[in-house]
Structure 1
Amino acid sequence: MYKGGDAVKAAVLTAPDAISLEDIAVPETNQGDVLIAVRAATICGTDIRIYRGRKTAGVRYPSVLGHEFAGEIVDTGGNPALGTGDRVALCPFVACGHCHLCKTGHENLCTQGTAIGYEIDGAFAEVIRIPARAVEAGNLRRLPDGMSFEEAALVEPLACVLNGQNKVNLSSADTVVILGTGPIGLLHVHLARLRGAAKILVSDPNPARREVALAAGADFTIDPMTEDVEARVKEATGGRGADVVICAIGIPALARQATDLAAFGGRISLFAGFSKGESAEMDVNAIHYRELMVTGAFGLSRKDYDQAFDMVASRRLDLRPMITHRFGLDDIQDALAMAEKGAAIKVAVMNG
């Protein structure tokens, strides 16, 4: 049993490019707060951007990153509905619940909310504190038998992908182009296949990633370094273009490419986050005359999280192959380096 004041290990970010393993005190808790022993935390591209100083909004120094995780309850905070040893995962964003955005169904955009791994210390640690407000709001989910901590950690990014595909109303009649097949792009492939997309094309310069995309359910792959992406998309769609184009990597030039690839009436998702200060050029005439819809997609709601959780728990989506590398918390810098260089699909930091 952990208690306040005990020393535990955590990967502490003290400045851009500066993260180190330190002994910190077990977080102090108030009534209703829950302590979780982290068993698996996966590395997100946003963690890398924060680590490298390319994302600064909401970032504190010192702080602990990590918002994709699952673990075991070691202190229930007096909540009779929870038990020590319960295996749980959690939607890491805690919306305020009473602002205009929350009341109108946009809690993922709540500006008064708090997020684990940002305003609240995250999961690259042995133990994490879950505020009572998150527990009371229903952000915790118990893991069913057979669902691993690693799989549960992947629910959060899948929920974000679900939010993005809902924004463009991706349906079974659609031809979909996904630009970028990093972990997020591959999750888009998995989910688009589950939703019955008519045809899925992916563009990525990494041949290994293209092969993984095919295994995940893509119908065609394109190497943008050697092939004309627009010509390949037009060839695959009888000259019509794609119903949905998803920018799954934060490269501004892809925003312009997306308008070139979209069919009349097509929908474009600028899903990936871009670094602060970046801008993109888009073909505004194409948007106007072809009636293209362009939308962003940010974060997740509890509804998204619950739906994604059920997809993974029921194995309608089997995301286990996405975890390709595992590291202990002691090797957090090696884990971040592996995730950053793109040789892995998804990197998990394991405890216990």
Structure 2
Amino acid sequence: MNEMKAGVLTGPNELVLDEVPDPQLEAGDLLIRVKAATVCGTDIRIFRGRKTMGIRYPSILGHEFAGEVVEGGNGRWKSGQAVCVCPAISCGHCQHCIRGYENLCQNLQAVGYEIDGAFAEYIRIPAAGVERGNVFALPEGLSFDKASLAEPLACVMNGQEQVGVDRGDTVVILGSGPIGILHIKLARHAGAHRIIVSEPNPLRRAAAQAAGADFTVDPTAENLGEFVRAHTGGLGADVVIVAIGVPALANDALGLVRHRGRVSLFAGFSAGDRAELDVNAIHYNEIRLTGAFGLSRLQYENALKLIAGGRFEVDSMLTHRFGLAEISAALTTAEQGTAIKVAVIDA
């Protein structure tokens, strides 16, 4: 049995580069050589033990990725073909799938969670993912690292579809990490009239401005509520998106949105997190509060097309690149807030 290198998570805060057996294919499985995998905030939460659902030890993280087909897939894909993968594999027959929200599949299996992920030289895509259409050919000319961003963009699409970002809206985004940046770009693409971003990190405020925000606010130095009201005729924003997993921001968002406005609790929160909400504000101001989890295959396909079409710029987001041997440094850099998006690439 041959071996490959992989970043192996052996427990909370314990990730080591190790030699592990190559993935063993069963009938219909697809083997992919990973060419690029980007680091998600969820990877960091799992690494730090703040997300435990579906996590096992030892395991391999990484769910935003692209690579080249090696073998398998019942002949659907050719060796050497460039592909990327929607990592959420739904069953297609549970009540949630039947109703059209496969991202909430009752039997969902996710790459990087239940299935070993892409911080490795090779990754196995189960036959179910191949059969369900989770594997996509890379559009011609699209790089592997840019293709890896289709997954987080698709998640952001899901969030904005749920909350409804419309042409002419004033949108407030809380947090301008990688997800916040994608929210800025997608809201602008949707025709938002005004985008206000709240972010204490000066580097990320600058990145938000470069990504298309009209205004950036340091909430530790300015009163965000007063700023938003001053730029909305005292009414508040049409949409507020919580793009960072700080529970207290959920209630803050209620104070930033207009009557009949919409609030998206987009960011994932750590296990056990709770937040106090002003239920009277929701009731009397008729605020619509939505959550957002994951993505569908259609959203992934649309995100891939948007990036490949050249009308949605993501190059500037890929600020740091590491080889697989530097996986620990890649995660640490992503966590420190000095990067926007960190890619682990095939050296």
- State the TM bucket, normalised to the shorter chain: over 0.9
The CA deviation at 1:218 is 0.7
Instruction: In structure 1, give the amino acid aligned to 2:244.
Output: I
**1:305-316 map, 5 Å:** 305-316=300-311
The one-letter amino acid of 1:289's match is Y
Match of 1:257 among 242, 252, 259: 252
1:88 aligned partner: 83
Shift of 1:111: 2.2
1:189-227 C-alpha deviation (Å, 9 max, x unpaired):
010011111111000001111111111111111110100
Aligned to 1:143: 138
Question: Deviation at 1:76?
Answer: 3.0
Q: Which residue of 2 aligns with 1:179?
A: 174
Contact 1:180 1:202 in 2 (8 A): yes
Cα distance in 2 for residues equivalent to 1:61 and 1:304? 30
1:255–1:282 contact (8 Å) kept in structure 2: yes
> Which of the numbers 4, 7, 17 marks the counterpart of 2:13?
17
In the aligned structure 2, how far is the partner of 1:36 from the partner of 1:221? Answer: 41
Secondary structure (helix, strand or coil) at the match of 1:14 reads strand
In the alignment, the residues of structure 1 paired with residue 329 and residue 24 of structure 2 have an alpha-carbon distance, to the nearest angstrom, of 30
Is this contact kept in 1: 2:199–2:218, CA < 8 A? yes
Letter in 1 for 2:44: I
The partner residue of 1:133 within 128, 145, 148 is: 128
The DSSP-based 3-state class of the residue aligned with 1:78 is helix
In the alignment, structure 2 segments of 5+ residues that lack a partner are: none
CA-CA distance at 1:253 after TM superposition: 1.0
Counterpart residue number, 1:7: 3
Match of 1:68 in 2: 64
Q: In 2, distance between residues paired with 1:148 and 1:318?
A: 13
1:57 corresponds to which residue?
53
Deviation at 1:262, TM superposition (A): 0.5
Cα RMSD over matched residues? 0.8
Structure 2 match to 1:40: 36
- The residue identity in structure 2 corresponding to 1:54 is R
Q: Distance in 1 between matches of 2:232 and 2:330?
A: 40
**Partner residue of 2:148 out of 130, 148, 153:** 153
1:207 and 1:236 map into 2 onto residues whose CA distance is 22
Is 1:222 aligned to 2:222, yes or no?
Answer: no
Deviation at 1:236, TM superposition (A): 0.8
The answer to whether the 8 A contact 1:36-1:127 is kept is: yes
**SS of residue in 2 equivalent to 1:105:** coil
Structure 1 Cα separation of the partners of residues 141 and 154 of structure 2? 20
Amino acid at match of 1:248: A
Q: Which runs of 5+ in 1 are unaligned?
A: none
Partner AA of 2:49 in structure 1: G
Q: CA deviation at 1:82?
A: 1.2
Distance (whole Å) between structure 2 residues aligned to residue 173 and residue 132 of structure 1: 44
The 2-side partners of 1:186 and 1:318 are apart by 11
- Distance in 1 separating the partners of 2:42 and 2:192: 28
**Counterparts of 2:238 and 2:74 in 1: how far apart (Å)?**
51
For residues 186 and 45 of structure 2, what CA distance do their matches in structure 1 show?
A: 25
Rounded Cα–Cα distance in structure 2 between residues aligned with 1:210 and 1:301: 30
TM normalised by structure 2 equals 0.99
Q: State the AA in 2 paired with 1:109.
A: L
Identity of matched residues, %: 58
Report 1:292-331 matches (<5 A): 292-331=287-326
**Alignment partners' CA distance in 1, 2:202 and 2:74:** 52
1:30–1:77 Cα contact (<8 Å) kept: no
**Structure 2 residue identity aligned to 1:14:** T
Give the Cα–Cα distance (whole angstroms) in 2 for the partners of residues 50 and 210 of structure 1.
26
Is 1:197–2:192 an aligned residue pair? yes
Spell out structure 1 runs of 4+ moving beyond 2 A.
none
Q: Check whether the contact 1:41–1:153 (CA below 8 A) recurs between aligned residues.
A: yes
Cα distance in 2 between the residues matched to 1:166 and 1:78: 35
TM-score for both structures, normalised by structure 1: 0.97
- SS of 2:255 mapped into structure 1: helix
- Separation (CA, whole Å) in 1 of partners of 2:73 and 2:317: 34
Q: What is aligned with 1:30? A: 26
Aligned-pair distance for 1:179?
Answer: 0.2
Number of equivalenced pairs: 347
Deviation at 1:265, TM superposition (A): 0.4
Partner SS state of residue 294, structure 1: strand
Contact 2:73/2:130 (8 A) holds in 1: no
Quote the Cα distance in structure 2 between the aligned partners of 1:243 and 1:167: 14
CA deviation after TM superposition for structure 1 residue 101, in Å: 0.4
Q: Specify which of 253, 263, 271 is matched with residue 268 of structure 1.
A: 263
